[in-house]
Structure 1
């Protein structure tokens, strides 16, 4: 069962304890303050609950400002790499600039820690991958 952890006009963050899955469903363009508040709420969930899987639904999210991309890489990625998170599925944004920004951010995670990030066009395929046994990768 999924519980709403945080919600505002731009994001809904949920947690499914049975799957140890956090989900962020993004909508529209976020100011820097809104983006950072939402990302910090995601981190709070990841760091305070047993979250090993994450689904970032970016399909309706707009561009992320360059300064927020730098903040994410410098501030958020190190915390993600020290968390229990092991799988991160990303549903591509319809917005070309968001898609390019997210790809660039996650390219920086390759080879760092145990976190595996994969992009998907289908929510069903993303969830199927997230449900696979993580121990097989160890």
Structure 2
């Protein structure tokens, strides 16, 4: 696992293997502008490395504004699918409000993508699924 990018809000890793997997690890609450900057960098790195799977470790992120969730759906989820990403592993947030918002956004956006998504309680389970051959 290689660390590609880090800020006080996020770590972004790349897993090599049968396919490349990008992993984002949120570290705490993220203000709107920083959220967008971090996710656009993740999208750029996913394109650069031609990733096929994506792991979102949301355990420590807190509630996100509805406008940010809508932006993530349109500006990140759809382009990730268009890049050829086929698998999304989500480690759910400890914050109930975040879980509800993210789950609602994914329910609305995923039918318009090629992403197969699974939710996990642990990072180990999510990594195993995201990096497994498919």
Q: Distance in 2 between matches of 1:25 and 1:120?
A: 14
Q: Distance in 1 between matches of 2:88 and 2:118?
A: 6
Identify which range, 96-105 or 70-79, moves more after superposition. Answer: 70-79
**TM-score, length basis structure 2:** 0.91
- TM-fit CA distance, 1:132: 2.9
Q: What residue ranges of structure 2 are gaps of 5+ in the alignment?
A: none
- TM-fit CA distance, 1:81: 2.1
Identify which range, 92-101 or 111-120, moves more after superposition. Answer: 111-120
- TM-fit CA distance, 1:120: 0.5
Looking at both structures, which has the greater relative contact order when contacts are Cα pairs under 8 Å and sequence separation is at least 6? 2
Q: CA RMSD in A?
A: 1.4
Structure 1 residue ranges, 4+ long, deviating more than 6 angstroms after superposition: none
Aligned to 1:53: 53
Aligned to 2:106: 106
Q: What residue ranges of structure 1 are gaps of 5+ in the alignment?
A: none
Determine if contact 1:13/1:25 at 8 Å carries over to the other structure.
yes
Q: Distance in 1 between matches of 2:94 and 2:35?
A: 18
